Homo-oligomer: A and B are copies of this chain.
Amino acid sequence: MSPRDLTVSVGARSGSYDVVVAVGALDGLPELLRSRAPAFRYAVISDSRVAPLHGESVGAALERDGLDARLFVFPEGEAHKTRESWTSLTDGLLEAGFGRDSAIVAVGGGVTTDLAGFVAATFMRGVPVVQVPTSYLAMIDASVGGKTGVDVPHGKNLVGAFHAPALVVADPAVLTTLSAEERAQGLVEAFKHGAALDASYFDRLASNLPALLDADPDAAQEAVGRSVELKAGVVEADEREGGFRQVLNFGHTLGHAIEAASDFAVGHGTAVAVGMLLEAEVGEALGITESGTRALLEAGLDGLGLPALPALDAERVVGYLATDKKTRGGRPRYVLLRSLGEADPGDGWTHDVPDRLVLEALSARLAAV
């Protein structure tokens, strides 16, 4: 263990669980499973890209250690985070004779942690899941907090369950297997944590950006650790997103609509980055967000070198706001900042915003493309 290794305990309705953040943690996975997530059999779930990189070696390491493990692979990509993949993984486990005394080990990015988590949440009414995130996005955001789910034609993550993991093992050493753009996309969620909860973390991310984009283990360990700490504090206070957990949706109301309107051609990080800027702009226009916040956000995010948005129709984007999970009384809800590092309490930590303001900000942004 290096001095920066970190174990964060997260309180959940189903009992607390540990998030281990340590370079090299993957090597100790069999031992961690034995002690923290004992099971009769382990189903390792990876996508077709991560399986040869990490899934196969994880399965082999478990077997060498005398654990009964079997690898299940689904096709890579957000397009496969579907009820069909969930069905086929579930039936694969049943076909292989997995029972309620099994545990699922999800090895991959956010698509895998969400999809395998939903398989675990619903397999025989729920079996434990161990999340082994291999991307920045999954380490920073997706694997902590118990959200699982799949996309459906009406939108992302509209079907799913809260299912807290038994254990999360994040090993920043594996981030080297990501492309530069994937790293940039995933780091957007770290900036979101800073923007909504901790301005000094936001600044630290901006100044460490070259090392983070380079997957430098020390820089990655520090950022993943701080994001996990911040997120753990939020989900402990409000696991089921009844109130305070909403702050983690900063940038996501418009972000999700942009992703959907592009048929998911726009990456999640790019969409959320634009969503944060637009939601800051709207917040400033309403006098809720301190003037200049949007500019600070833009300066910080600039170093990520995210791709520009493609041409999108603003009205089409607005159309997707109606099916957002955060709607209340049929109206979309927005997390607005008070200032950089501090979300505004609003009404249950979200706000109603006049459609006209949203459409104006969106149209101006899209016209600039």
**A residues at B contact (CB < 8 Å):** 13-14, 40, 83, 87, 90-91, 94-95, 97, 99-101, 121-126, 147-149, 152-155, 157-162, 240-241, 322-323, 325-330
Contacts and interface: CB of A to CB of B under 8 A. Distances in A.
A122 B125 contact: no
A123 B159 contact: yes
A100 B325 CA distance: 6
Contacts of A125: 147-149, 157, 160-162, 241, 325
B327 A152 contact: no
Closest 9 CB pairs of A and B: A94-B154, A99-B327, A125-B160, A124-B325, A122-B159, A100-B325, A101-B328, A40-B329, A125-B162
A154 B124 contact: no
Contact of A100 (B14, B99, B327): B327
Contacts of A326: 100
A108 B17 CA distance: 38
Most chain B CB within 10 A, of A100, A125, A160, is at A125
Contact of A152 (B14, B91, B240, B241): B91
B100 A153 contact: no
9 contacts: A13-B13, A90-B158, A94-B152, A97-B322, A97-B323, A101-B327, A123-B158, A125-B147, A161-B161
A81 to B, nearest CB: 14
A33 to B, nearest CB: 17
Nearest to A119: B159
Given A40-B328, A323-B94, A122 B122 contact: yes
Most chain B CB within 10 A, of A40, A100, A122, A147, is at A122
Contacts of A13: 13-14
Contacts of A329: 40, 101
Nearest to A154: B94
A126 B154 CA distance: 17
A148 B330 CA distance: 27
Given A122-B160, A125-B147, 10 more contacts: A40-B329, A83-B87, A90-B152, A90-B159, A91-B152, A91-B153, A100-B325, A100-B328, A122-B122, A125-B241
Nearest to A162: B125
A304 to B, nearest CB: 29
Nearest to A328: B101
A329 B101 CA distance: 7
A330 B123 CA distance: 16
A112 B323 CA distance: 25
Contact of A121 (B14, B97, B161, B330): B161
A17 to B, nearest CB: 16
A329 B325 CA distance: 40
Contacts of A154: 91, 94-95
A322 B96 CA distance: 11
Most chain B CB within 10 A, of A99, A123, A328, is at A99
Contacts of A153: 91
A147 B328 CA distance: 28
A355 to B, nearest CB: 16
